[in-house]
């Protein structure tokens, strides 16, 4: 059998989206620190503005450094393209604003990052977009929550912070039965551990601040389109199928086909709402993509070692990591993410809130802060920080107890991390 010679993941993670600079031969992706780009001539300028020619006009809409990162992320995720944004939250908002208008509705997993929960539950209703939250393990619940005005089914690959894993294929089928796409936040898994488009997901987005950037130095987000969802056949997305006055009545789905969503998101979303990724930040995150594969392997190996260690400690009342046999989604995790379930997990500390405070205070290598997915190991108490705006009822619905400690395991030597945890656990008893 003939063999297609397509480049593999680790090669794409280093090279995709970039050719050596033609003027100077720069091997690294240059930082195009420029707001704007000189047109070749008047006709070229007109062509760019009318979407007949492609290229860069103004860095709010696109930038060569950012574009290299976008292509690379699309290549790694297996999509048709990507848009990088100033944060993961802006990527989520860009997706929603591109697909929806006032009166539309979202069905979302209830196990979400606190910021995403806040956008859906509190902020978007002010603009007429409402959300029904569903336990991510309840596939029938997704079906029951879908209404005629539903335009998106949404969740996280690994729920935050309980690492709930939905039955992705089944939820995808439920969404598609109703003519709406499924979008997942794939931040915690990265395309190294989970390739959403191979399981029926239509759109994915990332906080590339986390593992993809990998070093905690730059905030960014990315929205990736599989190119598989048929907006025209659905008939529910007038922003993509009806004439758009801003471009002489352009119908994005008819003209751009598989790229319709991304083109509209860029030429309307970035143009009108802003929030592009800065080229300097794109450069930092590009450095992260080059080592993504090997870093995720190490993140997972360290996490497995620490989960095993904590499993034997009497101060720990429970651990939620999908590779453990007692995790409710253990079998699903083995099927969807055989190479590992990421490097973020939660555990319960005996003694509740007070023990948790002592534990965090004693840690030396783990940093207490509001982030995950860094080369450095991190720790946080979600009930008092990332999810602090949620009510007790919402916290309970999201599976977040006051004893819950979330760890993000970094790339340090696992023995040193275990020593650090050991002394902090001892301190938590005092």
Partner 1 sequence: MTELLVRGARVSASCGGREPDPSLPLLVFVHGAALDRTCWQLQSRYFAFRGFSVVAVDLPGHGRSEGPLCASVEEYADWLAELVEAAGYHQAHLVGHSMGALITLEAAARHPGRISSLTLCGGAAAIPVHPGLLSAAQNGDDIAYRLMASWGHSRRSHLGGHPTPGLWMMGGSIRLWERTPPGVLASDLAACDRYRRGREAARQVGCPTLLISGSQDIMTPNRSANPLRNGIKTLAEVTIEDAGHIMIVEQPDRVIDALDGFLTGL
Sign of CA dihedral 406, 412, 414, 416: negative
- Measure the CA dihedral 177/181/187/188, to 10°: 0
Binding-residue pattern over the window 85 to 124 for partner 1, x denoting contact by CB under 8 A: ----------------------------------------
**Does 4 participate in binding partner 1 (rule CB under 8 A)?**
yes
Task: Name the DSSP class of 233.
Answer: H
Peptide bond into 375 cis (omega under 30): no
| Length of the chain in terms of residues written | 430
**Does 19 participate in binding partner 1 (rule CB under 8 A)?**
yes
Sign of CA dihedral 20, 24, 27, 32: negative
How many CB atoms are located within 10 Å of the residue 50 CB?
Answer: 11
Distance CA 139, CA 141 (A): 5
**Does 301 participate in binding partner 1 (rule CB under 8 A)?**
no
**Does 176 participate in binding partner 1 (rule CB under 8 A)?**
no
- For partner 1, the closer of residues 65 and 303 by Cβ is 65
- For partner 1, the closer of residues 73 and 417 by Cβ is 73
Distance CA 386, CA 87 (A): 16
Options 32, 67, 93, 349; binder of partner 1; rule CB under 8 A: 67
DSSP 261-302: HHHHIIIIIIHHH--BPPHHHHHHHHHHHHTHHHHHHHHHHH
Binding-residue pattern over the window 32 to 51 for partner 1, x denoting contact by CB under 8 A: ---------------x--xx
What residues between 227 and 266 interact with partner 1 by CB under 8 A?
227-228, 230, 232, 247-251, 254-259, 262-263, 266
CB 350 within 8 A of CB 316: yes
Say how many Å lie between the first and final Cα of the chain, rounded: 66
Count the site residues for partner 1 by CB under 8 A: 56
SS3 label, residue 218:
coil
- For partner 1, the closer of residues 81 and 161 by Cβ is 81
Distance CA 66, CA 62 (A): 7
**Does 70 participate in binding partner 1 (rule CB under 8 A)?**
yes
Tell the burial category of 249 from Cβ atoms under 10 Å away from its Cβ (0-12, 13-18, 19+).
exposed
CB 400 within 8 A of CB 328: no
Options 5, 24, 27, 126; binder of partner 1; rule CB under 8 A: 5
Beta bridge partners of 407: 345, 379
CB 179 within 8 A of CB 152: no
- For partner 1, the closer of residues 5 and 24 by Cβ is 5
Options 21, 26, 33, 52; binder of partner 1; rule CB under 8 A: 52
SS3 label, residue 326:
coil
Options 23, 24, 42, 54; binder of partner 1; rule CB under 8 A: 54
Least separation in angstroms between CB 33 and partner 1: 16
Binding-residue pattern over the window 261 to 300 for partner 1, x denoting contact by CB under 8 A: -xx--x----------------------------------
Largest CA distance in the chain: 75
- For partner 1, the closer of residues 199 and 256 by Cβ is 256
**Does 379 participate in binding partner 1 (rule CB under 8 A)?**
no
**Does 74 participate in binding partner 1 (rule CB under 8 A)?**
yes
Least separation in angstroms between CB 63 and partner 1: 8
Least separation in angstroms between CB 75 and partner 1: 5
CB 143 within 8 A of CB 137: no
CB 180 within 8 A of CB 253: no
Name residues whose C-beta falls within 8 Å of residue 329's C-beta, 6 or more positions apart in sequence.
137, 163, 164, 165, 322
CA distances from 126 to 116, 141, 148, 324 (A): 15, 25, 20, 41
**Does 226 participate in binding partner 1 (rule CB under 8 A)?**
yes
**Does 315 participate in binding partner 1 (rule CB under 8 A)?**
no
**Does 312 participate in binding partner 1 (rule CB under 8 A)?**
no
**Does 82 participate in binding partner 1 (rule CB under 8 A)?**
yes
Least separation in angstroms between CB 83 and partner 1: 5
What residues between 389 and 428 interact with partner 1 by CB under 8 A?
none
Options 9, 10, 39, 53; binder of partner 1; rule CB under 8 A: 53
Residue span binding partner 1 (CB under 8 A) among the ranges 69-77, 86-94, 307-315, 419-427:
69-77
**Does 18 participate in binding partner 1 (rule CB under 8 A)?**
yes
**Does 25 participate in binding partner 1 (rule CB under 8 A)?**
no
Interacting residues toward partner 1 by CB under 8 A = 1-2, 4-7, 15-19, 47, 50-56, 61-64, 66-67, 70-72, 74-75, 78-84, 226-228, 230, 232, 247-251, 254-259, 262-263, 266
């Amino acid at each position: 059998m003939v063999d297609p010679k397509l480049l593999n993941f680790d090669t794409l993670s280093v090279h995709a989206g970039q050719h050596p600079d033609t003027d100077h031969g720069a091997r690294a992706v240059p930082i195009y620190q420029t707001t704007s780009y000189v047109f070749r001539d008047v006709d070229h300028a007109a062509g760019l503005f009318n979407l007949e020619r492609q290229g860069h006009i103004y860095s709010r809409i696109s930038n060569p450094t950012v574009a290299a990162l976008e292509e690379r992320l699309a290549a790694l995720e297996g999509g048709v393209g990507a848009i990088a944004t100033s944060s993961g939250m802006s990527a989520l908002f860009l997706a929603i604003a591109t697909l929806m208008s006032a009166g539309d509705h979202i069905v979302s997993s209830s196990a979400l990052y606190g910021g995403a929960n806040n956008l859906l539950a509190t902020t978007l209703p002010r603009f007429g977009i409402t959300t029904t939250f569903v336990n991510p393990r309840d596939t029938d619940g997704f079906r029951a929550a879908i209404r005629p005005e539903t335009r998106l089914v949404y969740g996280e690959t690994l729920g935050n912070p309980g690492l709930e894993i939905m039955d992705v294929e089944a939820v995808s089928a439920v969404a598609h039965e109703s003519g709406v796409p499924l979008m997942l936040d794939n931040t915690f898994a990265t395309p190294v551990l989970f390739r959403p488009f191979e399981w029926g997901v239509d759109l994915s987005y990332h906080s590339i601040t986390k593992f993809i950037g990998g070093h905690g130095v730059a905030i960014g987000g990315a929205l990736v389109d599989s190119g598989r969802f048929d907006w025209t056949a659905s008939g529910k997305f007038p922003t993509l199928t009806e004439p758009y006055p801003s471009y002489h009545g352009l119908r994005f789905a008819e003209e751009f086909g598989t790229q319709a969503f991304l083109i509209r998101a860029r030429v309307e979303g970035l143009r009108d709402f802003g929030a592009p990724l800065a080229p300097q930040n794109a450069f930092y995150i590009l450095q992260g993509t080059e080592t993504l594969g090997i870093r995720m392997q190490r993140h997972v190996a360290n996490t497995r070692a620490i989960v095993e260690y904590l499993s034997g400690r009497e101060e720990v009342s429970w651990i939620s990591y999908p590779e453990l046999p007692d995790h409710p989604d253990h079998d699903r995790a083995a099927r969807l993410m055989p190479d590992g379930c990421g490097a973020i997990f939660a555990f319960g500390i005996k003694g509740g809130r007070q023990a948790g405070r002592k534990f965090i205070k004693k840690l030396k290598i783990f940093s207490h802060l509001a982030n995950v997915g860094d080369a450095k190991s991190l720790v946080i108490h979600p009930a008092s920080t990332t999810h602090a705006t949620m009510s007790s009822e919402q916290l309970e619905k999201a599976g977040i107890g006051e004893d819950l400690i979330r760890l993000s395991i970094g790339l340090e030597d696992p023995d040193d991390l275990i020593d650090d945890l050991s002394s902090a656990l001892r301190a938590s008893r005092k």
